[in-house]
């Protein structure tokens, strides 16, 4: 049993109350074992201000279940208040949003469309041969998500950051960085991957074979430097309209990732002044920027910062 329950919030339309109750029943073991403390608006007592109660519990929630249906998407309150705030907290790493597909509806383009939904393959509960089977699948998915969140938030969780490269299109591997220095020929398209074991803020630098320094992350397409624990990030990321092509000259390129648990301005600016996708500086300026990073990093408590490097040969 965890030291404390994860606070869980149901965001749903009252037209789906029966299905919400069915889901709640399937989560009863998590509740009885102290893994979750669930809340929904039917727990608001007489005389209490319902808007304030919803806002307070939504702000405290660590897991938010969006119970998706036509009525949910048609509800101004569900869409504009609850879902909007839940997605904001999800993007900041403050909560985990899990869309639960209850009934068929066209949800293409919705803010939650980029988040993995339950049950399996986002098939709505009402379309399963057995709704109990669907809710069991959902309960297992929620259990796994909560277990992962508890592992990440455990005080003893190690803090580390990792960066590596792979040819464009190569499947992601949990193994992460290769044991040997990879080699790429000029013209090869690659992807840079990075991840951390804790929610943190990352600056990703590339020192090319010419000596120029480029800030790969954050960048104009992804200005937020915060990343979530255990999630693999890529440059270029899925859907980004650019490629990382090995251009030379031949030699060894260096990738350096600096991760901090608190937001720290390691550079005066991480973005190009002319609005370009990446900030790139000359070898002389690169030496200065690296010196600035080292100085600011040295001022931090060791437990608050992690660094790693990855080198690859351009042949």
pLDDT at 153: 54
| Least confident residue range of 15-29, 145-159, 286-300 | 145-159
DSSP string, 96-151: EEEEEE-S----TT-GGGGSPPBSGGG--GGGSS-HHHHHHHHHHHHHHHHHHHHH
What's the CA gap between 257 and 307, in Å, rounded? 6
Cα 205 to Cα 66: distance, rounded to the nearest angstrom: 37
User: 192 with 122, same domain?
Assistant: no
| CA of residue 304 relative to chain centroid, distance | 20
Domain presence at residue 182: yes
What CATH number should be reported for the domain holding residue 140?
3.40.50.10140
Residue 156 pLDDT greater than 50, yes or no: no
Lowest mean pLDDT, pick from 76-80, 119-123, 142-146: 142-146
281 and 165 inside one domain: yes
Instruction: Give yes or no: residues 114 and 234 share one domain.
Output: no
- Greatest mean pLDDT among 127-141, 148-162, 206-220, 299-313: 127-141
More confident residue, 303 or 309: 309
Q: Is residue 1 part of a domain?
A: no
With beta carbons less than 8 A apart as the criterion, state whether 152 and 198 touch.
Answer: yes
Average pLDDT over residues 233-259: 91
Range of the domain at 15: 6-153
In a domain, 248, yes or no: yes
Q: What are phi and psi of 258, to 5 degrees?
A: -120, 120
Q: What is the domain count for the chain?
A: 2
In this structure, the answer to whether residues 124 and 167 fall within a common structural domain is no
266, pLDDT greater than 90: no
Q: Are residues 16 and 146 in the same domain?
A: yes
State whether 213 and 149 are in the same domain.
no
Highest-pLDDT range among 63-72, 83-92, 245-254: 63-72
> Model-level pTM greater than 0.85?
no
Query: Domain end: 133, 153, 173, which one?
Result: 153
Q: Does one domain contain both 306 and 169?
A: yes
Residue at a domain's end among 153, 169, 189: 153
């Amino acid at each position: 049993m965890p030291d404390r329950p994860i606070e869980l919030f149901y965001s749903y339309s009252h037209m789906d109350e029966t299905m919400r109750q069915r889901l709640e029943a399937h989560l009863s073991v998590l509740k009885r074992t102290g893994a979750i403390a669930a809340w929904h608006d039917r727990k608001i007592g007489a005389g209490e201000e319902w808007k304030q109660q919803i806002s307070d519990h939504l702000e405290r929630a660590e897991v938010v279940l969006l119970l998706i249906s036509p009525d949910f998407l048609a509800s101004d309150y569900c869409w504009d208040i609850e879902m909007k705030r839940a997605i904001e907290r999800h993007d900041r790493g403050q909560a985990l949003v899990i869309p639960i597909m209850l009934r068929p509806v066209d949800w293409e383009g919705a803010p939650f469309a980029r988040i993995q939904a339950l049950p399996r393959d986002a098939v709505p509960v009402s379309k399963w041969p057995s709704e109990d089977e669907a809710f069991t699948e959902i309960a297992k998915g929620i259990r796994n998500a909560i277990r992962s969140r508890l592992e990440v938030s455990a005080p003893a969780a190690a803090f580390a950051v990792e960066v590596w490269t792979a040819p464009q299109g190569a499947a992601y591997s949990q193994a992460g960085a290769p044991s040997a220095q990879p080699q790429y020929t000029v013209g090869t398209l690659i992807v840079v991957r990075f991840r951390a074991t804790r929610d943190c803020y990352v600056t990703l630098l590339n020192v090319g074979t010419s000596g120029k320094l480029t800030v790969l992350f954050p960048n104009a397409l992804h200005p937020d430097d915060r990343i979530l624990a255990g999630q693999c990030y890529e440059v270029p990321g899925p859907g980004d309209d650019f490629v990382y092509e090995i251009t030379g000259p031949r030699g060894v390129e260096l990738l350096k990732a600096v991760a901090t648990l608190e937001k720290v301005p390691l550079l005066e600016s991480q973005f190009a002044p002319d609005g370009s996708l990446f900030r790139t500086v000359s070898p002389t300026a690169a030496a200065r920027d690296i010196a600035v990073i080292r100085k600011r990093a040295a001022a931090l408590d060791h437990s608050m910062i992690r660094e790693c490097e990855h080198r690859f040969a351009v042949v």
